[in-house]
Amino acid sequence: MKEQNLKEMYGKLGVAPETYDYGARVLDGLRERFAEIDRVAEYNQGKVLEAMRRNRVSAAHFAATTGYGYNDEGRDTLERVYADVFHTEAALVRPQITCGTHALTVALSANLLPGDELLSPAGAPYDTLKEVIGIRESRCSLKEYGVSYRQADLNPDGTFDYPAIREAIGPRTKLVTIQRSKGYDTRPSFSVAQIGELISFCRSVKADVKIMVDNCYGEFVEPLEPSDMGADMVVGSLIKNPGGGLAPIGGYICGSAECVERCAYRLSAPGLGQEVGANLGLMPAFYQGLFLAPTVTAGALKGAIFAAALYEPLGFACVPGAAEPRHDIIQAVTLGGPEAMSAFCLGIQSAAPVDSYVTPVPGDMPGYDAPVIMAAGAFVQGSSIELSADGPIRPPYAVYFQGGLTWYHAKTGILLSLQKLLDAGLTRLP
Higher pLDDT, 76 or 366: 76
Q: How many other C-beta atoms can be found within 10 angstroms of the C-beta atom of residue 212? A: 25
CA 131 – CA 198 distance, rounded (Å): 25
pLDDT at 415 over 70: yes
Q: What is the pLDDT of residue 255?
A: 98
Residue 66's CATH number: 3.40.640.10
Mean pLDDT, the chain, as a whole number?
A: 96
Q: Do 53 and 87 share a domain, yes or no?
A: yes
Q: What is the pLDDT of residue 183?
A: 78
pLDDT at 370 over 90: no
Is residue 428 included in any domain, yes or no?
no
Q: Do 144 and 93 share a domain, yes or no?
A: yes
Domain interval for residue 79: 47-290
Q: Do 265 and 126 share a domain, yes or no?
A: yes
Q: Do 372 and 280 share a domain, yes or no?
A: no
At residue 395, what is the residue type?
P
State the sign of the Cα–Cα–Cα–Cα dihedral 416, 414, 384, 397. Answer: negative
With bands split at pLDDT 50, 70 and 90, how would you rate the model's confidence at 187? confident
Q: What is the pLDDT of residue 113?
A: 98
DSSP 367: T
With bands split at pLDDT 50, 70 and 90, how would you rate the model's confidence at 426? very high
Is residue 395 reached through a cis peptide bond, with omega within 30 degrees of 0 on the bond before it? no
pLDDT at 170 over 80: yes
Q: What is the pLDDT of residue 367?
A: 66
Q: Helix, strand or coil for residue 150? A: strand
Domain stop point among 290, 325, 358:
290
Q: pLDDT tens digits for 17-53?
A: 999 999 999 999 999 999 999 999 999 999 999 999 9
Q: Do 269 and 326 share a domain, yes or no?
A: no
Is residue 332 included in any domain, yes or no?
yes
Q: Which residues contact 59 (CB under 8 A, 6 or more apart)?
A: none
pLDDT at 366 over 80: no
Dmax (CA) for the chain in angstroms is 67
Residue 23's CATH number: 3.90.1150.60
Q: Do 38 and 75 share a domain, yes or no?
A: no
In 377-411, which positions are buried (b, 16+ CB within 10 angstroms) versus exposed (e)? bbebebbbbbbbbbbbeeeebbbbbbbbbbbebbb
Total domains, the chain: 2
Is residue 429 included in any domain, yes or no?
no
Q: Do 108 and 188 share a domain, yes or no?
A: yes
Domain stop point among 251, 274, 290:
290
pLDDT at 184 over 80: no
In 3D, which of 351, 323, 335, 314 has the Cα closest to residue 400? 335
Q: pLDDT tens digits for 104-120?
A: 999 999 999 999 999 99
Helix axes 338-350, 407-423, angle to 10 degrees: 140
Residues in the chain, total = 430
Q: Do 300 and 342 share a domain, yes or no?
A: yes
In 3D, which of 27, 41, 23 has the Cα closest to residue 326? 41
Q: What percent of the chain has pLDDT over 90?
A: 95
Kindly list the strands in the beta sheet with 210-214, ordered across the sheet, starting from the edge strand earlier in the chain.
Answer: 90-94, 251-255, 233-237, 210-214, 173-179, 117-120, 148-151
Give the pTM: 0.95
Q: What is the pLDDT of residue 252?
A: 98
Average pLDDT over residues 292-296: 98
Q: What is the pLDDT of residue 3?
A: 83
Q: What is the pLDDT of residue 253?
A: 98
Q: Do 55 and 164 share a domain, yes or no?
A: yes
Q: What is the pLDDT of residue 1?
A: 73
pLDDT at 425 over 90: yes
At residue 365, what is the residue type?
M
Average pLDDT over residues 187-206: 97
DSSP conformation letters of 156-201: TTS---HHHHHHH--TTEEEEEEE-S--SS-SPPPPHHHHHHHHHH
Q: What percent of the chain has pLDDT over 70?
A: 100
Is residue 201 included in any domain, yes or no?
yes
Q: Do 27 and 77 share a domain, yes or no?
A: no
Q: Do 101 and 153 share a domain, yes or no?
A: yes
Is residue 161 included in any domain, yes or no?
yes
Q: pLDDT tens digits for 352-362?
A: 999 999 999 99
Higher pLDDT, 127 or 387: 387
Q: Do 304 and 259 share a domain, yes or no?
A: no
Domain stop point among 262, 290, 318:
290
CB 118 within 8 A of CB 108: yes
Is residue 9 included in any domain, yes or no?
yes
